[in-house]
Chain A
């Protein structure tokens, strides 16, 4: 067998390596380059540990995660969670506030109804009222639900996991690195990398859209996650105000400094592209929206960079 990626030492004496593991319900790929093959391996293992920690703490599926413990007992009494979970919930509240609720972690019951999240028989019934404002963050990492709600942080935790993994690579002294968790990716290092996005109308084709040297890109689209519900195709991208799922044939890519921001903002843009435009600048983010152009077989790209040309170290490839 050939060793294509692992421990392939390049001419400069740098060791490079790329590994993949199934985590967060997707394939997480981590690549890094450093001084020796051993330090690179250790750094990547540490990065995977960070992703695994987020997976264990914030999975909606796992019965013993912080999120499941909140969903089970958060209305009755405050639940103490890990620092990471607390941090993600705090960020979620910030994104909800800034987007007038277009980002909302309390859409979990809608996702369950549409079949995107499992039913847990031991979770209490929900009241059908309330939103992100009723997730109370109390001192000492305690969380309480002011209404009978169910929360799901999968719209943001994947990005957070990518950020933690990147931090682990940097702490280990890597020269460059890349973490890609099924659409949420972040890179650092000397050379710019070309980011591809799938053609929303024919997802087997990749389009090179942007060159990225430092920072994150997150893409959300329905093409691989859509499913049939009552005769209609639905995606897990829900508008929290209307509880209606976004269209299938549009893909949204957000570029931002960190992956959690990029991840969260894809949901905001999907929910309401019009009002989202004005909200990106406060996060220093840029959005690319791809729509299939049936006449030409190509896609139309909508780009917010002309509104905020500021500090982007990226260019759009056309």
Chain B
């Protein structure tokens, strides 16, 4: 510690105890809210779930360079007064340990209108494999105070690799071009 004798002088010792938050789980939006944010002008969302054929899968992988792991594409056709505005796609990718649910809005011109995170469940450590720990989330409703939610709001130094989301968006753009007309 003598190295830092010019640094300051309150070398306090913080022991991680009850105050330290073990995990990180946030629900930002549900599907309807994300639809409204990505297509504010839309008055209709027609659900259109597509099951990819082996051939379509190969075509998407070839054009995007990203592996297609799930055959089902959850898509909604956004319209305003019967006029097509574009596609709303719901997807999941792996974060560090758990899935991140996100939505992509793709305009009628085929360009991304926006990406919104719906569910972010970054969970760490052994606590999360504990059923009891997980159970504390069940039954939580709007307005409920989640103690964890309180604790995770302001983490300085939390970094997330967005590579998987970036790859996911690439894959969805290719999916849109290949199977959604």
In the complex, chain B residues whose CB is within 8 Å of the CB of A123: none
In the complex, chain A residues whose CB is within 8 Å of the CB of B158: 180, 182-183, 198
In the complex, chain B residues whose CB is within 8 Å of the CB of A225: 159
B162-A20 in contact (CB<8A):
no
A2-B142 in contact (CB<8A):
yes
In the complex, chain A residues whose CB is within 8 Å of the CB of B12: 300-301, 303, 316, 318
B28-A19 in contact (CB<8A):
yes
In the complex, chain A residues whose CB is within 8 Å of the CB of B33: 3, 6-7
CB of A196 within 8 Å of the partner chain: yes
Chain A interface, number of residues (Cβ within 8 angstroms): 72
Contact with B along A195-206 (1 / 0, CB 8 A): 111110011111
Q: Give the complex CA separation of A296 and B27 in angstroms.
A: 35
In the complex, chain A residues whose CB is within 8 Å of the CB of B70: none
Q: Give the complex CA separation of A218 and B15 in angstroms.
A: 22
CB of A307 within 8 Å of the partner chain: yes
Q: Give the complex CA separation of A300 and B116 in angstroms.
A: 38
In the complex, chain A residues whose CB is within 8 Å of the CB of B159: 26, 182-183, 224-225
Question: Which residues, 191 to 235 on A, are CB-close (under 8 Å) to B?
Answer: 193-199, 202-209, 212, 217-221, 224-225
Inter-chain contact count A-B, CB under 8 Å?
Answer: 194
**Nearest CB in chain B to that of A48: its residue:** B114
In the complex, chain A residues whose CB is within 8 Å of the CB of B31: 1
CB of A8 within 8 Å of the partner chain: yes
CB of B94 within 8 Å of the partner chain: no
**Nearest CB in chain A to that of B93: its residue:** A22
A207-B154 in contact (CB<8A):
no
Contact of A298 among B16, B124, B141 (CB under 8 A): B16
CB distance from B95 to the nearest CB of A (A): 9
Question: Which residues, 133 to 164 on B, are CB-close (under 8 Å) to A?
Answer: 140-144, 146, 149, 151-162
Q: Give the complex CA separation of A219 and B157 in angstroms.
A: 5
In the complex, chain A residues whose CB is within 8 Å of the CB of B120: 20, 27
Q: A2-B141, A21-B114, A277-B8 are in contact. Are A182 and B154 (CB under 8 A)?
A: no
CB of A12 within 8 Å of the partner chain: no
CB distance from A315 to the nearest CB of B (A): 12
**Nearest CB in chain B to that of A217: its residue:** B156
CB of A4 within 8 Å of the partner chain: yes
Contact of A19 among B4, B20, B21, B29 (CB under 8 A): B29
CB distance from A219 to the nearest CB of B (A): 3
Contact with A along B49-91 (1 / 0, CB 8 A): 0000000000000000000000000000000000000000000
CB of A18 within 8 Å of the partner chain: yes
Q: A4-B140, A301-B14 are in contact. Are A185 and B154 (CB under 8 A)?
A: yes
List 11 additional A-B contacts (Cβ < 8 Å) besides A4-B26, A196-B152, A277-B6: A3-B142, A6-B29, A178-B153, A180-B156, A185-B154, A205-B22, A207-B19, A207-B20, A208-B20, A296-B15, A301-B14
* A–B complex contacts, Cβ < 8 Å, 22 sampled: A2-B27, A4-B146, A5-B26, A26-B160, A180-B155, A184-B156, A204-B125, A205-B22, A205-B125, A206-B20, A206-B21, A207-B20, A218-B156, A219-B157, A274-B4, A277-B7, A296-B13, A297-B15, A300-B11, A301-B10, A305-B10, A316-B12
